[in-house]
Amino acid sequence: MTTIVALILQLVLVLLLSPLTIGLVRWFKARLQGRLGAPPWIVYTALLTTLKKQHVISENVSWVFRFVPFAVLGMAAFLVLSLPLLFSNGGLPQIDLFILAGVLSLGSVFLVFGGLDAGTAFGGMGASREMTIAALVEPVALITFSAFAVVAGSSSIQDVFGNGMSVFSHPALVLSFAALVLVALAENARYPVDNPATHLELTMVHEAMLLEYSGPYLAMLEYASSIKLTVFLVLLGNLIWVKPSAALAPEAIGLAAAGILSTLIVGSFALALLESSIAKMRFFRLQEYMSVAFFLSLSGFILVFLL
């Protein structure tokens, strides 16, 4: 009973806070760049406004185009349920770590299907770039997850990202954590891999695949993107400071909720500071970026066995 209630609380809390994460990143970026910036909660209004608009869909698209928003949002919700985000022993039981990597890849694949199905130049360009980035990111993610799994002695998500596991559990995990940060930036289409606030042809990757979507479908995809960013920020935060164990006591729930909110504020500020300090890389230099991530992850994986 406690596990079910903890799962419901985690799902509700993360789904409610996800748009706020995007709003905080934008607000912090504006303040760091000397602008006033819109209040963080305006993202909720923007999502509701988009949700109320009508669909504008090409006659050339198939059922795949309409299915993609539901698939991407469903996979984002699966991430929320499977990972121990609110409590250290939370999340769905008996979920293997490599299923997590598969779900992350599958979300990108469905976005690519949506970008290709409309048959537009922008969608094809974004899909091609997305698959190129995915081919570079996924090996790094697998090696990084493997290093954490070796230290935890299990490939279960609860053992790797919960049950008291942290980046300080083994010296080599510092390198793996750094690689995971670079993976998180790439998976969420953030700087220096992608620019989430542009519609310029030379810089678009993720946004290019969403150009043909409108109305509720666009709101679902944007919401799924905010959920994914929130999950990664909380996951990285949980590897630094450990969450309390699941309990129905109001004190434990309040402490866990305050921990997630604090993690999102700190993570959003760090992301905004990073994006305000560096420029987006040219697409053909991304192999340099992912090479750094690859050698960090590989070094951490090897050192796990040596130290």
Residue pLDDT tens, the chain, 307 long: 567 887 888 899 999 999 999 999 999 999 998 888 889 999 999 999 999 998 888 888 899 999 999 999 999 999 998 888 888 777 777 788 888 888 888 888 999 999 899 888 888 888 998 898 988 899 999 999 999 999 988 888 888 887 778 888 889 999 999 999 999 999 998 888 888 877 666 667 888 888 889 999 999 999 999 999 999 999 999 888 877 666 667 777 788 888 899 999 999 999 999 988 888 888 888 889 999 999 999 999 999 998 8
Residue type for 286, please?
L
pLDDT at 213: 92
pLDDT, position 87? 80
For residue range 195-221, what is the model confidence (pLDDT) as tens digits? 887 766 666 788 888 888 999 999 999
Furthest-apart CA pair in the chain: how many Å?
A: 59
CA distance 269 to 278: 14
Note the pLDDT of residue 246. 62
pLDDT at 222: 94
Assign residue 164 a region: left if phi > 0, alpha if psi is -120 to 50, beta otherwise? left
DSSP string covering 15-27? HHHHHHHHHHHHH
**Number of residues that make up the chain:** 307
Please state, in angstroms and rounded to a whole number, the distance separating the CA atoms of residues 66 and 99: 25
Say how far residue 47 (Cα) sits from the centre of its chain: 18
- Predicted local distance difference test score (pLDDT) of residue 173: 93
Place of tokens 């048959």: 119
